Structure 1
Amino acid sequence: MAAPTLEELLARCERSAVHLEMRDGYMRDDPLFVAWQAGHRDDPADRASWWRPWLTLMQETTARGVEVRRARVISEPVSDYVQFEYDITFANVASGEHVRWLPRRMATGIALPGNDFWLLDDTVLLVNHFGGDGQFTTEEVVTDPGTVKLCAEAFESVWSRSVAHEEYRPA
């Protein structure tokens, strides 16, 4: 039996979905990133031009009362990819996500897991694995209570030290 997808897990989610991102670069062949590198910038006033299926999923999830929080641990000065993420995060916020940024230098005292993850309703982890080049490789569903607890505590520690998207300015 195949593991459930993130979309399926979010559809079952009832209270909270948190996402911890800790890389300074992801799939560099992403068409949105490539367009951004070529100079394209989304116009926040032209919602139809930047609204994507992911944002619809987030809007539907948050409309059901699920709190969605995303925290990004980043190096400064920021990489081009993180600057790209920053530039498009207004769309995540518009869809109902709460997004925060934590400069890596402020994360030294936090026990961080080795991988990015989604934690749903404090019980199910979807762990994301990436290659050294930032390309997605695999994901796995983890329900081990000890691992879930470690990841939940790591996320909350990052969240408590991080800066809201509306207040953060990339260095």
Structure 2
Amino acid sequence: MTTSSRNLGDLFDTFEREAFRLETLDDYSNSGNSGAYRSFLAGDPQPLDYNADWVEELRSHTERGKRVYRVHVLSRPLTDYLRFELGWGYRKNMSGGEEFFILDTTDGPNPLDGVPDFWLFDADSAVVMSYDGTGTYLGSEVQPAERTREFVRYRDMALARAEPFTDWWATYGA
């Protein structure tokens, strides 16, 4: 897998309207922030500076009127990692203006089965994110322009079936 992190970073620096993320995994625990995950599992309180750099980056975009949002496809019961990501990560990142939606497939088929994790910037550039079976990030690949419409369709399909995170969390959150 070729890692195009620099290209992904460039897209974060240059998008003009929106950055959308589709998450499909139940576990990203080997992709960073493992100390915070261990603290969560130990029942420690969330540090005040948790995710501070990402929250600041989010603010730099959302305060300029840009939208950063994501849909996570999942099913219940939540894995420990999802309880961490949603309970600590999503709730903290919302303070920077990021929006979250949940596509809960517990009671029905996954309409995006087989679709990889990706970022979509301004509906113009798609970047596929690759992970191994242990949640380890392997790299990212900017997709050819002719595939962009495919990822726009995935985004639209996910959003049409997802519900706002805060509503879902109030019912199912840990």
Q: TM-score range by the shorter chain?
A: 0.7 to 0.9
Q: CA deviation at 1:7?
A: 3.1
Alignment root-mean-square deviation, CA: 2.1
Q: How many aligned positions are there?
A: 165
Q: Does residue 37 in structure 1 map to residue 38 in structure 2?
A: no
- CA pair 163-58 structure 1, distance change in 2 beyond 3 A: same
Q: How much has 1:104 moved relative to structure 2?
A: 2.1
**Residue 25 in 1 paired to residue 27 in 2?**
yes
Cα distance between partner residues in 2 of 1:113 and 1:63: 34
Q: Which secondary structure does the structure 2 equivalent of 1:101 belong to?
A: strand
SS of alignment partner, residue 137 of structure 1: strand
**CA distance in 1 between partners of 2:24 and 2:119 (Å):** 12
TM-score for both structures, normalised by structure 2: 0.84
SS at match of 1:149: helix
Ranges in structure 2 where 5+ consecutive residues have no aligned partner: none
Identity %: 24
The whole-number CA distance in structure 2 between the counterparts of 1:125 and 1:73 is 18
Q: Deviations over 1:104-132 (max 9, x none)?
A: 24663624553101000111112110001
Q: What SS does the aligned partner of 2:138 have? A: strand
Deviations 1:50-80 (A, max 9, x none): 3511111111011222111111001211111
Look up the equivalent residue of 2:50 and give its one-letter code: W
**Alignment of structure 1 residues 4-15 onto 2, 5 Å:** 4-15=6-17
User: Aligned residue for 2:111?
Assistant: 110
AA at the equivalent of 1:64: R
Query: Quick one: structure 1 residues 83 and 67, their matched pair in 2 at CA, closer, same or farther if it must change by over 3 Å?
Result: same
Is the contact between residue 142 and residue 148 of structure 1 (CA under 8 Å) also seen in structure 2? yes
Q: Distance in 1 between matches of 2:66 and 2:159?
A: 17
**C-alpha contact (below 8 Å) 1:16/1:67 kept by paired residues:** yes
Deviation of 1:40 after TM superposition, in Å, equals: 1.9
Query: Which amino acid in the other structure matches residue 102 of structure 1?
Result: L
After TM superposition, give the deviation of residue 42 of structure 1 in Å: 2.1
Taking a change above 3 Å as real, the CA distance of residues 57 and 7 of structure 1, as seen in their structure-2 partners, is farther
Q: Which runs of 5+ in 1 are unaligned?
A: none
Q: Are the aligned partners of 2:58 and 2:98 in contact in 1 as well (CA < 8 Å)?
A: yes
Matched, 1:124 2:125: yes
